[in-house]
A and B are shown apart, each in its own frame.
Chain A
């Protein structure tokens, strides 16, 4: 079963706390992504990982970092969360070629208060 799993699905954190969002995939995909989605802005790419320890900044990396120590796991870390990081975060994976499907998780709704 081809699946991208995100944990947790909902999270409320206080400003200044650290946040860890986790993502797993069972398709042995090389490429994994973290996006955030805000009303009117669509999906914005935070980081992309082309394989273990091979990560690249996306369009909006500031305030985030990532970790990929195993091909099937890709974590997004917010050190000292800010209220403007309240958003829905989507993890995705693909086999990395131009015309293949990208598979998405169901998203994590993060609220920073």
Chain B
């Protein structure tokens, strides 16, 4: 089946420093899956941060960006300068077609703590 791998369970970064959260994926369908980053702030539900549906393209939102790399099957999340308000849990996900419709598969999440 489909799978998404996030290798870092927790990351601590000082405010104004750069960030990269790694994500790799494996999809079973013949075509290319759509890729997403979701974020969960404390006490809130998950919300979409950014998405990319075309291989080779970059998505960006709130200073974060991620590039869909089909050769490396990766979709790493980056930010040049993090803020304390970015502290949250980040989930990489892919959408792929199952037997009856589309299904969203998540990675295990990376908890980001930004030190002020």
Contacts and interface: CB of A to CB of B under 8 A. Distances in A.
Interface of A: 4, 31, 33, 35, 40-43, 45, 48, 50, 54, 56, 58-59, 90, 92, 94, 96-99, 101-102, 104-107
Interface of B: 1, 6, 9, 33-34, 38, 43-48, 51, 53, 91, 95-109
Contact of B9 (A40, A48, A106): A40
B79 to A, nearest CB: 21
Given A96-B102, A98-B102, A99-B34, A90 B95 contact: no
A97 B1 CA distance: 19
A45 B47 CA distance: 17
Contact of B53 (A35, A58, A98): A98
Contact of B103 (A4, A42, A48, A106): A48
Given A41-B108, A42-B106, A45-B105, A102 B100 contact: no
Contact of B51 (A31, A33, A90, A99): A99
Given A31-B102, A99-B95, A42 B109 contact: yes
Given A31-B102, A98-B95, A59 B1 contact: yes
A90 B101 contact: no
Given A45-B103, A106-B43, A107-B45, A56 B97 contact: no
A50 B34 contact: no
Looking at B38, B46, B99, B107, the one whose CB has the most chain A CB atoms below 10 A away is: B46
Contact of A42 (B43, B99, B100, B108): B108
A97 B102 contact: yes
Contacts of B34: 98-99
A98 B48 CA distance: 14
B96 to A, nearest CB: 8
Contacts of B98: 48, 56
A50 B100 contact: yes
Looking at B34, B38, B97, B100, the one whose CB has the most chain A CB atoms below 10 A away is: B100
Contacts of A4: 45
